[in-house]
Structure 1
Amino acid sequence: MKLARWQWMTAGESHGPGLVGIIDGVPSLVPVTSTLINEDLARRQKGYGRGGRMAIEKDQVEIFGGVRHGKTLGSPVALLVKNRDFANWSESMAPDAGTPDRIVTRPRPGHADLVGGIKYQHRDLRNVLERASARETTMRVALGAVARSFLNELGIGVRGHVISIGDIHVPHQDYTLEEIQETENSPVRVAHKASETAMLSAIDRAKEAGDTLGGTFEIKAFGLPVGLGSYVQWHRRIEGALAQALLSIPAMKAVEVGSGFAQADVPGSAVHDAIWWDKDQGFTRLSNRAGGIEGGITTGMPLVVRVAMKPLSTLLSPLGSFDIDSKEPFLAQVERSDVTAVPAAVVVGEAMVMHVLADAILDKFGGDSLPEIRERIERWDAYGRQY
């Protein structure tokens, strides 16, 4: 298996003291500040249909290592985001010995509660749900902001937007980076005003019914060099790494690259992208149905990946379940939840894509400092235009 150059890990529970994360492999001299990271953390907390937790937490990062005077050092970057809500859970979630309370014995359908309890032999399912919670994605986003700064310095922009919530779909359009950035002004992160209005109404109806909504979103990466990933081994194909990363986000159920599933319904002549060459650009494509990847390798066209998110499992009108101790039937336990988190999931999806791309850049070009890597990519791009 390929050893990742960009390695990262998170720790912490939903109602514990906080979330921590470390990235090893960040080159030196990448601009990183708490302000930069907090911008993405704030974006993750936005979105119409979010629940009460967003009113409690105003996520702010503390940088504990790997950065000095706004630049990375080349050593591991360590981050902390404290949970404000821990003040209300300090006894229940005390790391040291204490009296357990807020015990969960009624697993919720669709969550990790039951299978996690069986796997790790917990009789209190809170030990499962506290870590399986999507609260963990807060740190993925914080670490992803470090990747974003690294990629931005190389001329690579990564942004996402919502393309459906429930059965409301945005009309297909090949959005530019600037157009996608404008969706930050939308409460559901969409670029189409009529779709936005319909989505807001659908979310309101689901809330009144005690139900939840899923949806789909698209992540695009602009400015990628040709040649990230490889066809020579299964684990080096970049779409495989992207799919694994995106499906690791809680509630994600499907990923497609380019026009994805639609390609199964049409002949090859309506799928593949004709190649074009001119003396200024070198080789390019006349369309981008492949989503910027051919043979497990980036083509230099924009990367396009789409992700399907299931409706959130915690329902205000809960489904049936059984108590793991008494074996008596109950309505599933209700934890605080959102009606929909698709707009917020966009930001988590961006982070996961950026982690994959940062690793692919380091795998292809190596280097220990930002100037060294930038110079190598510039030479590579010049070679590609003359190929």
Structure 2
Amino acid sequence: MIRFLDAGESHGKALIAILDGLPSNFIVDIDYINDELKRRQTGYGRGERMKIEEDKIEILSGLRGRKTTGNPITMMIHNKDYEKWKNIIDREPEDKEKISIPRPGHGDLVGYFKYGTGDIRDSIERTSARETAIRTAVGALCKSILKEIGIDIRSKVNSIGNSYEEIVDLFDDSIYEKINNSSVRCYDEEIEKSFMKKIDICKEEGETIGGSVYISVKGVPIGVGSYSQWDRKLDAILSYGIMSLQGVKAIEFGNGLDLSLRGSSFNDEILYKDGRISRDTNNCGGIEAGVSNGEKIDIKVFIKPIPSIKKDIRTIDLKTREEKTTRYERSDVSAVVPASIILENIVAFYILKELLSKFPNDEFNDFKKAVKDYRDSVYIK
């Protein structure tokens, strides 16, 4: 079983993760992990913080040369912005400096009462989406392992506000190249202009905007996950990870929210083509009864507008209970574009975790062989 913990504050010295349970003898590509971190930082609607940070991963343990040893892997990303904030972060604040005006939509109010430090700054530092940088690094390592065993994870922006783009096959390389070259990660030029215009309008008005992301996973064999217990179902496990991302409010697998479909049209008929079991449709999104069925795992994720807005909205001072207007701290206009990259890597961690549960191995080549042998036994012509 693989697992990880991460730590660090938004403006602290660094973000750190310890990833445990990876098999030995996998050759780690540091450049690939850094490329994923760079993908996370780019995109239309990003804020000033991304101009400051140039995220690079440093691996402190768990490798010898470039190979995993089977020992826990420690990852670190240094925060460049720490130098500007260390006088605030590294000392006890005076009472007059403590923040007591919570911003609606953030963790400010709940953190203030849950942990009782008397300063909302402590909640701000940990609830910040800055934490997703280290989670992206963890997921990128997992995604590189999945690629070696024939599993690919791709994504696109599905909507910004109420402007939608049609779902396409992300594994058509010509289409996916257009998506990766788009600053809003879509393939249609007119839709791209529409997405950018909505973001521009929100920026001018001091607003933010949400949207949705489409993720597709190709190559997961039949039989990953389980219906034997409620907490082993693959769609439940993926939902758990996806919902942990800041701003995510809803998830759809396949066409599960299409209310126009009836049972006869929603069910994906089982066929036998070209020596394998297959489907002509994928309304269930590649998972039945909590178990992968060999088709692509298709997920749509819906992301709320970022709550940090320049417009005044009502709140209170928690010390005096007087009515106030909300504070503003720097923010992106939209988090949908970077969320698509972060979600690819979150999904990668949970897919790899379930595969290692099904094919437990301490050594990578044994793991790879076990997956291949299983595929061969399932897809016999």
TM-score by length of 2: 0.96
CA distance in 2, matches of 1:243, 1:217: 14
Alpha-carbon deviation of 1:192?
1.5
**Is residue 289 from structure 1 mapped to residue 283 from structure 2 by the alignment?**
yes
Cα shift at 1:78: 0.7
1:382 offset after TM fit, Å? 1.2
Question: Is the partner of 1:327 in helix, strand or coil?
Answer: coil
User: In the superposition, relative to structure 1, how do residues 35 and 303 fare at CA in structure 2: closer, same or farther (>3 Å)?
Assistant: same
Secondary structure of 1:260 counterpart: coil
- 1:319-358 map, 5 Å: 319-358=313-352
Q: After the TM superposition, which residues 244-283 of structure 1 pair with which residues of structure 2 at under 5 Å, given as runs?
A: 244-262=240-258, 264-278=259-273, 280-283=274-277
Q: 1:205 to 1:80 in 2, by over 3 A?
A: same
- AA matched with 1:375: K
8 Å CA contact 1:246, 1:349 repeated in 2: yes
What SS does structure 1 have at the residue aligned with 2:135? helix
* Matched letter for residue 175 of structure 1: L
**Counterparts of 1:298-309 in structure 2 under 5 Å?**
298-309=292-303
Instruction: For residue 327 of structure 1, report the CA deviation from its aligned partner.
Output: 1.6
Shift of 1:31: 2.3
Q: Find the aligned partners of 2:295 and 2:277 in 1 and give their Cα distance.
A: 10
How far does residue 152 in structure 1 lie from its aligned partner after superposition?
Answer: 0.7
Unmatched tracts of structure 1, length 5 or more: none
CA distance in 2, matches of 1:288, 1:18: 42
Q: Which residue of 2 aligns with 1:310?
A: 304
Give the one of 345, 367, 373 matched to 1:373.
Answer: 367
Q: Which amino acid aligns with 1:158?
A: I
Once the 2 structures are TM-superposed, how far is the Cα of residue 174 of structure 1 from its aligned partner? 3.3
Contact 1:12–1:20 (CA under 8 A) maintained in structure 2? yes
* 1:111 aligned onto 2:109: no
Calculate percent identity across the aligned residue pairs.
36
In structure 2, distance between residues paired with 1:156 and 1:346: 18
What 5-or-longer segments of structure 2 have no aligned partner? none
Evaluate the alpha carbon distance shift between residue 212 and residue 82 of structure 1 in structure 2; reply closer, same or farther with a 3 A threshold.
same
Conserved in 2, the CA contact under 8 Å of 1:177 and 1:222? Answer: no
Q: CA deviation at 1:97?
A: 5.6
- Size of the alignment, in residue pairs? 380
TM-superposed deviation, 1:326: 1.8
For 2:177 and 2:363, locate their aligned partners in 1 and report how far apart those are by CA, in whole Å: 29
Q: Say if 1:366 and 1:373, in contact at 8 Å, map to a contact too.
A: yes
State the secondary structure of the residue aligned to 1:265. coil
Q: How far is the alpha carbon of 1:351 from its aligned partner? A: 1.2
* 1:114-152 deviations in Å (ceiling 9; x for gaps): 011111112110011110000000000011111011101
**Alignment correspondent of 1:212:** 208
> Is 1:363 the counterpart of 2:357 in the alignment?
yes
Find out whether 1:137 has 2:132 as its counterpart: yes
The DSSP-based 3-state class of the residue aligned with 2:358 is helix
Residue 153 of structure 2 is matched in structure 1 by: 158
3-state SS in 1 of match to 2:15: strand
Which residue number in structure 2 is paired with residue 43 of structure 1? 39
Alignment counterpart, residue 125 of structure 1, candidates 120, 124, 131: 120
